[in-house]
Amino acid sequence: MANYIPNGRLSAVNHGNLRIEIQTEFSKYPEPRVATAVSISGQVIHKIQKSWGKSIDSIEEMRTVEEIINKQHNEVTALVHEHAATLVAHSSTNAEKSSQMHSPEVLEKIKSITEIQTAFILTAEGKLVSMQKVTKEAELIAEMIGNLTEVLFDIARTTNMGECEDCILNLGTHDLLLLPYKGGYLAALIDSKVRKREVLDALWKIARAA
């Protein structure tokens, strides 16, 4: 039963002309977990995750995970029914903000920096707004950024380090460069051997001119 993946759940709540979808499934990457995504018009507006921490390799574990999936899905669906109007209003606000952040011109300029392998713009919550090239790796990085940005950029204010202007995250053979951009973040993936500060300076020049 190793690597068994339970069937997911999918429900929908209609509010006016909009359809709110709730999808719950067991995901193995980047870590085993039960994840519920709430989306409107294909745009994920909220995620709820419960860590499992290992592969499913027994009947008992399979049944436990299926119970977690059903319980989590039913609870989230009930909340969506109750707060549908609020979710739709919040989604409209975020869509307008994302539209303002979306900038193909900026990404085209970033492409001219040869050291950068891929680049993308994210909201403050780590949701992808636009990308130079869509990859699964980038989606995982975006999710990670959503969990880390508050810590990365606020830690300086809780110490005596002053303000944090940009960040460099080491991902092994690659580095992720991250800097604030229009209320969200501009991120770029480079080889770890590249001179990071020179690339960051080039990114800052593009961001400030936008």
69 pLDDT more than 90: yes
Residues 70, 16: one domain? yes
pLDDT-wise least confident of 14-23, 58-67, 108-117: 108-117
Q: What is the mean pLDDT of residues 103-114?
A: 78
Residues 39 and 81 grouped into a single domain: yes
Q: Is the pLDDT of residue 153 over 50?
A: no
Q: Specify if 3 maps to a domain.
A: no
pLDDT more than 70, % of the chain: 69
- Look up residue 145 and give its DSSP letter: H
Tell me, yes or no, whether 108 and 188 share the same domain.
yes
Total domain count, the chain: 2
The last residue of a domain, from among 73, 93, 113: 93
Mean pLDDT to the nearest integer, 15-32: 85
Query: Kind of pairing, strands 128-131 and 33-40?
Result: unpaired
Could you tell me the two tokens for 186?
A: 């501009």
Report the chain's mean pLDDT, rounded to a whole number. Answer: 75
Residue 158, pLDDT score? 40
Domain-terminating residue out of 41, 62, 93: 93
Find the domain containing 158 and state its range: 102-209
**Residues 115 and 198 both lie in one domain:** yes
Pair (122, 66) in one structural domain: no
Q: Are residues 112 and 192 in the same domain?
A: yes
pLDDT of 155 over the 50 cut: no
Query: Distance between CA atoms of 22 and 9, rounded to whole angstroms?
Result: 8
Verify that 54 and 140 share a domain, yes or no: no
pLDDT at residue 152 greater than cutoff 60: no
Strands 33-40 and 184-191: unpaired
86 and 157 share a domain? no
> Is it the case that residue 58 has pLDDT exceeding 60?
yes
CA-closest candidate to residue 173, choices 126, 134, 117, 120: 117
d(CA 128, CA 138): 9
132 in a structural domain: yes
Helix (H, G, I), strand (E, B) or coil at 110: helix
Q: Note whether 115 and 194 are same-domain residues.
A: yes
CA 209 to chain centre: 26
Same domain, 119 and 194: yes
pLDDT average, residue stretch 174-190: 80
Residue 26 has pLDDT above 80, yes or no: yes
Please tell me the distance from the alpha carbon of residue 91 to that of residue 185, in angstroms, as a whole number: 19
Domain membership flag for residue 1: no
Query: How large a percentage of the chain has pLDDT more than 90?
Result: 14
Looking at residue 90, its pLDDT comes to 61
Q: In angstroms, rounded to a whole number, what is the distance separating the alpha carbons of residues 133 and 72?
A: 33
128 and 202 assigned to the same domain: yes
Look at residue 34 and tell me whether its pLDDT is greater than 60. Answer: yes
Domain boundary among 33, 66, 93: 93
